[in-house]
Amino acid sequence: MLIFLIHVRDPQFYALPAKTRAQNGNIRVMGFPPIGIMSLSAVVKRAGHECQMFDQANPDTPNEVIVAEIKKRKPGLVGLSFLSTTSYPYAKMLAREIRAADDKVKLAFGGVFASLNAALVKLQCPEVDFVCRGDGEQLILGLITNLEDPSGVASLTWAKDGTVINNPNRPPERNLDQWPYPDRESLPLDFVESMPLDVPAVLSMERFTTMQTSRGCPWTCMFCDIPIFNEGKWRCRTPQHVVDEFKYLQKLGYGAVYFVDDHFLLQPKRIEAICKGINENDVRIEWGCEGRVDSVAQHLFPAMAKAHCRTLMFGIESGSQKILDRVRKDQTLAEIESAVSKAKKAGIQIVHGFFVVGNPDETVEDMNATFDFAARLPLDTFGFNRLCVYRGTPLWQEYLKRGLINDAEDWYKYFKCSSIDPTCLDGELINDVRRAGLRRLFIYKLLHYPMQTFRLLRRFTRYMPIRDVVYLIIKPFLGKKKGATKAEVLSRAVEHGAMKDAAAEMTQLHDDVLQHVFEESRLERLRIQQENEMPAVSAR
């Protein structure tokens, strides 16, 4: 069967460096590769099907071209993959365009947002035949062979005679080694790693791609929907499988890789084996990853640096213990200081801190404490985002209970917490304090870490256009931006009507589901802790 897979993007999250071309002739796009559809493409091709992928970031394949290709080639299934609440409006628009052009083609949605809101999405988008929940590999194979009667395809949401049906859940797959490496070579694109002035990833001019070595995270931070997406489980590939993929990527000419894992730093034995394998096989690819500051694998930071780990990103969130506790981050300021210093001492070149501002119960003093804390930490780069709330998170459940949001009306909306929660500071004030905090932070860094700052800026100018670097530096000094962002406006500009009442009937996320995920996460942490304490036989 011919299958089309489309990665739908919110245009804010990629930039086109003036349609430049890579050495191999591919168009270069600034963004992360769509590893979700690349993973599925490899799986369906191995099963003997034909697959064509589209990335919306490609200027050569705008929606009209994709729709024309569908009309011309008549695929048996078109899968639309998107990550978040902010890309849902674009997925919906594209699905409607496709349906208007072809009333027969089978359409499927997948990805985190669609998974967590499957029945509601199906109801709001009747033109989409299937909403696929969770891991897609086994699911898409099952769907392809059961397009006319998918009643036996686990984790699928569909409709029969006007009634939405949620097929039972498929347990999260633990054996990830069974799947082929993502199909990176079939898209006519090369990806420039650095996100538009946001996340620096690995920061190099080498050919860049992403890899996924594990899925999920067994913690339960209030603002995060990863635990519910993975049902509290953490699954990983074996070190050998990861190292083999590194070797393969080196042969293909890749020189920089970023792991999209939610928490890479979970199993010391596995990390040690991966680093050893990289060195023993003379893999010289530079890589980056993310993890928690309370990781028990910190003694391996020097081994990671030796295995070419160039970037390590920590979810720091706040410099106020009160706020860390409020968002149930389950980490201390001392743990943060220790992890960041150890990473720097180990020789990791870029240590990044993710921070959030605009948290519930956060005061101006808490926010200032965050910027002062960030200044004291030997971080190379940092990002201070406004806290947003998504359906599927414990924070969303809290807001429902406090009557601040309504599941039936708000499930697809993208909210900054400050716009709905009266215990947050006012949005304008948050922006003012953030701007002032960033100014203090830059000045502190220049005075106290001049060499580190200079080296970093030099590296930035090597890999990014000067114009972008200048913008990055002066951004905090620029004037105020007012009102809702385009993403917020778009995510709310969706039809209501009869849909609202039906949605109220269909709310899938109940407290007991969340409690179940909390319990599963606790058991998973225990399991991993026990495994970490056992002598190594296999790192799985």
> Which residues contact ligand B12 (rule: CB under 6 A)?
9-10, 13, 31-32, 34-36, 39-40, 79, 81, 83-87, 108, 110-113, 132, 135-137, 139-140, 195, 199, 212, 224-226, 260, 262, 388, 390
Cβ closer to ligand SF4: 112 or 202? 112
Nearest approach in angstroms of CB 450 to ligand B12 is 30
Report helix, strand or coil for 208: strand
Nearest approach in angstroms of CB 160 to ligand SF4 is 35
Residue 81 near which of ligand B12, ligand SF4, none (CB within 5-8 Å, type-dependent): ligand B12
Stretch of residues binding ligand SF4 (CB under 6 A), selected from 154-162, 224-232, 276-284, 493-501: 224-232
Closest CA to 159 of 506, 151, 99: 151
Contact flags string 8-27 toward ligand SF4, x per CB under 6 A? --------------------
Distance CA 406, CA 400 (A): 6
Q: Is 224 in the site for ligand SF4 (CB under 6 A)?
A: yes
Q: Which amino acid is at 403?
A: G
Closest CA to 260 of 292, 214, 293, 220: 214
Residue 410 near which of ligand SF4, ligand B12, none (CB within 5-8 Å, type-dependent): none
Cβ closer to ligand SF4: 221 or 367? 221
Q: Which amino acid is at 68?
A: A
Residue 277 near which of ligand SF4, ligand B12, none (CB within 5-8 Å, type-dependent): none
Nearest approach in angstroms of CB 124 to ligand B12 is 15
- CB-CB neighbours of 171 under 10 Å: 12
Cβ closer to ligand SF4: 221 or 303? 221
Contact 33, 184 (CB under 8 A): yes
Q: Is 315 in the site for ligand SF4 (CB under 6 A)?
A: yes
Nearest approach in angstroms of CB 259 to ligand B12 is 9
Closest CA to 313 of 369, 375, 381: 381
Stretch of residues binding ligand SF4 (CB under 6 A), selected from 35-43, 218-226, 402-410, 487-495: 218-226
Distance CA 525, CA 297 (A): 14
Distances (CA, A) of 386 to 150, 279, 362, 493, 520: 41, 39, 12, 21, 29
Stretch of residues binding ligand SF4 (CB under 6 A), selected from 221-229, 267-275, 464-472, 497-505: 221-229
Cβ closer to ligand B12: 13 or 382? 13
Q: What does 387-438 look like in DSSP terms, one character per residue?
A: PEE-TTSHHHHHHHHTTS--HHHHTT--EEGGGT-TTSPPHHHHHHHHHHHH
The 3-state DSSP composition of the chain as helix, strand, coil percent (nearest 5) reads 45, 15, 40
Give the containing element (helix H, strand E) for 108.
strand 106-110
Distance CA 125, CA 94 (A): 11
Residue 83 near which of ligand B12, ligand SF4, none (CB within 5-8 Å, type-dependent): ligand B12
Q: Which amino acid is at 47?
A: A
Q: What does 328-372 look like in DSSP terms, one character per residue?
A: T----HHHHHHHHHHHHHTT-SEEEEEEEES-TT--HHHHHHHHH
Helices (H) and strands (E) in the chain, counts: 21, 19
Tokens standing for residue 153? 């395809």
Q: Is 228 in the site for ligand SF4 (CB under 6 A)?
A: no
Stretch of residues binding ligand SF4 (CB under 6 A), selected from 6-14, 217-225, 420-428, 450-458: 217-225
Residue 41 near which of ligand B12, ligand SF4, none (CB within 5-8 Å, type-dependent): none
Cβ closer to ligand B12: 179 or 371? 179
Residue 429 near which of ligand B12, ligand SF4, none (CB within 5-8 Å, type-dependent): none
Residue 214 per-residue DSSP state: E
Q: Is 226 in the site for ligand SF4 (CB under 6 A)?
A: yes
Q: Which amino acid is at 184?
A: R
Q: Is 221 in the site for ligand SF4 (CB under 6 A)?
A: yes
Distances (CA, A) of 172 to 96, 158, 216, 538: 31, 20, 10, 20
Contact flags string 266-305 toward ligand SF4, x per CB under 6 A? --------------------------x-------------
Given 263, 269, 308, 445, the residue binding ligand SF4 (CB under 6 A): 263
Residues of this chain that bind ligand SF4 (CB under 6 A): 217, 219-221, 224, 226-227, 262-263, 292, 315
